[in-house]
Structure 1
Amino acid sequence: MKKSLVSVVDEYPNLDLIGNARSDSVIYDLAPAPTGRKGRPAKHGQRLSIDEDFALSDEKIGDYYMGVRRVLTNLFGAKEVLAYVTWQHKKICRQRLF
């Protein structure tokens, strides 16, 4: 995905983009609720791993097990996106991140 393509998609509220990302891309949990203490609130939650932090479906959807989660990423600026992880086999590490 190119940044110029993503910026065009941002101009239209009814248009979404599905793109493949590197499986080692940094993704974060959503920012925690403000605590009411002094200081700057957290911009994002803890760093997530696609191996451990996504709950996969119990049955295959098509040829893949799937997991989905709302995350924060810095790929094209700080954005909240839906991250989909697909696994062909649960025991073999061949996952893909969308």
Structure 2
Amino acid sequence: MAELLTDDQIDLALRDLIPLWKAVDKTLVRTVERETFLDGIRLVATVAQLAEATGHHPDIDIRYKKITFRVTSHDSGGITEDDLVLAHHIDTAAG
């Protein structure tokens, strides 16, 4: 089980992720909008492959052209270093 980050560590990490990500209820949250529905599905497929490769998976909500990623370490009960790494991978995939 990964170690939870402190509020100060999360605030510091968000400086690199803001304005794209927010911390909400022990979860990192980002919404991405694509040109078309299929572009959004392609992004989801890319993120799914990254998640499988790292063994850490986001919650994904697809609403037509808007995809919301929620990243948290469920087994640890909050945000860990693994979540920050995954958030950066999602940023790279989203461009």
TM-score strictly above 0.5: no
More contact order relative to length (CA 8 Å, sep ≥ 6): 2
- TM-score, normalization by structure 2: 0.28
**Which protein shows a greater Rg?**
1
Task: Name the one with the larger helix percent.
Answer: 2
- TM-score, normalization by structure 1: 0.27
